[in-house]
Amino acid sequence: MYRLEPILRPMVWGSELWVLSGYPERMSVVSDGPCKGMTINELVAKEKERLLGCENYRRFGDEFPLLVKFLDVHAPLSIQVHPSEEFAQKRQGLHGKTEMWYVIRAEKDAELMAGFAQEITPEEYESKVHDGTITDVIARHRIQAGDVFFIPTGRVHALLPGSYIAEIQQTSDSTYRIWDYNRPGLDGKLRPLHTELAKEALDYRVYPEYRTQYEPRKDSEVPLVSCDYFTTSVLDLDAPFTRDLRGLDSFVIVMCLEGSGTLRCGSETTEIAADGCVLVPACAEEIEFVPGPGGLKMLLSHN
């Protein structure tokens, strides 16, 4: 099992803690053990299929394919959209960005934006960006702890003040900023908008539901999201739980949402607590989770 040094990034809207990242400009470094000091991509290059799994290594090579963060939101994020893999590769030679959000905490009446509330044309979109009314046509959702939102590429979205969020995404920073409230960035300058790129990348359709529906259960793994880039479940424990990993052919990322506990994998043991992250390699056969006195709540993600 691998623990990594978190990367704290102050943002104009709050802060984000990157707890596992293979993104070149902000790459995670192993924090302890025999591989201490290695970047995550150096670790992938060393361990190959043993870390990623055979199919993942064939698909992604020496780049760790997922990026996971904790977001502390005190002001609105920009209204934005992420491109698909095909669109981003064609237009910029970059990866696309599919992601999901899990709400860890939310203040009373906190909201977020995801998807269009009414269907508009690309021409109407451009007009609303220019006159500052684009937020009028985006769906707003009241949120509480435990809410899940899947954000496929093409979906307009923005987090709003008063929430603490776990985010799981492709290893990419491909973001097209649609609207940023005419506010300066941390450098005092207006951040650029990507009006034309977003116009092409947006999915303008209106969907009946933007929130992911699931039934929470104690001491049982509950599936949340499954897509081409990640599969995520939630595990809320008051009692020990063992997860069989044989046949998975993938690493598992463990993100601790609440509480604390112990992870056991073979002869190895490590502790985890809120905001912590542990990477379990694909060669592991099983992992045991032992919650502390206050319980242990985690997200588990793999490819």
Which CATH number fits the domain that encloses residue 253? Answer: 2.60.120.10
Domain of residue 176: give its range: 2-201
- Same domain? 119 vs 245: no
Mean pLDDT by groups of 10 residues along the chain of 303 residues: 96 96 94 95 97 96 96 97 92 92 97 97 95 95 98 98 98 93 90 94 97 97 97 98 96 98 95 97 97 97 96
* Spatial separation of the C-alpha atoms in residues 164 and 73, rounded to whole Å: 6
Domain assignment present for 208? no
Domain assignment present for 197? yes
Closest by alpha carbon to 237, among 264, 268, 261, 214?
A: 261
- Same domain? 184 vs 272: no
Domain assignment present for 257? yes
Domain assignment present for 209? no
* Spatial separation of the C-alpha atoms in residues 150 and 153, rounded to whole Å: 10
Check if the beta carbon of residue 64 is closer than 8 Å to that of residue 48. Answer: no
pLDDT value of residue 92? 87
Helices (H), the chain: 40-47, 49-52, 54-60, 85-92, 122-131, 195-201
pLDDT value of residue 140? 98
Burial of 12 (0-12, 13-18, 19+ CB in 10 A): middle
pLDDT value of residue 25? 87
What is the four-CA torsion angle of 180, 183, 184, 190, rounded to 10 degrees?
Answer: 50
Number of domains in the chain: 2
- Same domain? 46 vs 119: yes
Type of residue found at 41 = N
- Same domain? 234 vs 130: no
pLDDT value of residue 93? 87
- Same domain? 106 vs 234: no
Burial of 288 (0-12, 13-18, 19+ CB in 10 A): middle
Q: Indicate the residue among 167, 201, 235 that finishes a domain.
A: 201
- The C-alpha angle with vertex 268 and arms to 264 and 269, in degrees rounded to 5, equals 50
- Same domain? 111 vs 197: yes
- Same domain? 197 vs 227: no
- Same domain? 197 vs 226: no
Burial of 275 (0-12, 13-18, 19+ CB in 10 A): middle
- Same domain? 28 vs 161: yes
Q: How many CB atoms lie within 10 A of CB 211?
A: 16
For 235, the 3-state DSSP assignment is strand
* Spatial separation of the C-alpha atoms in residues 96 and 299, rounded to whole Å: 23
* 70: β partners: 17, 166
Q: What pTM was computed for the model? A: 0.96
- Same domain? 233 vs 182: no
- Same domain? 288 vs 183: no
Q: Print burial letters for 146-160: b (CB count within 10 Å at least 16), e (below 16).
A: bbbbbbbbbbbbbbb
DSSP letter (8 states) at residue 136 = G
* Spatial separation of the C-alpha atoms in residues 278 and 252, rounded to whole Å: 8
- Same domain? 8 vs 71: yes
Domain assignment present for 167? yes
* Spatial separation of the C-alpha atoms in residues 253 and 45, rounded to whole Å: 18
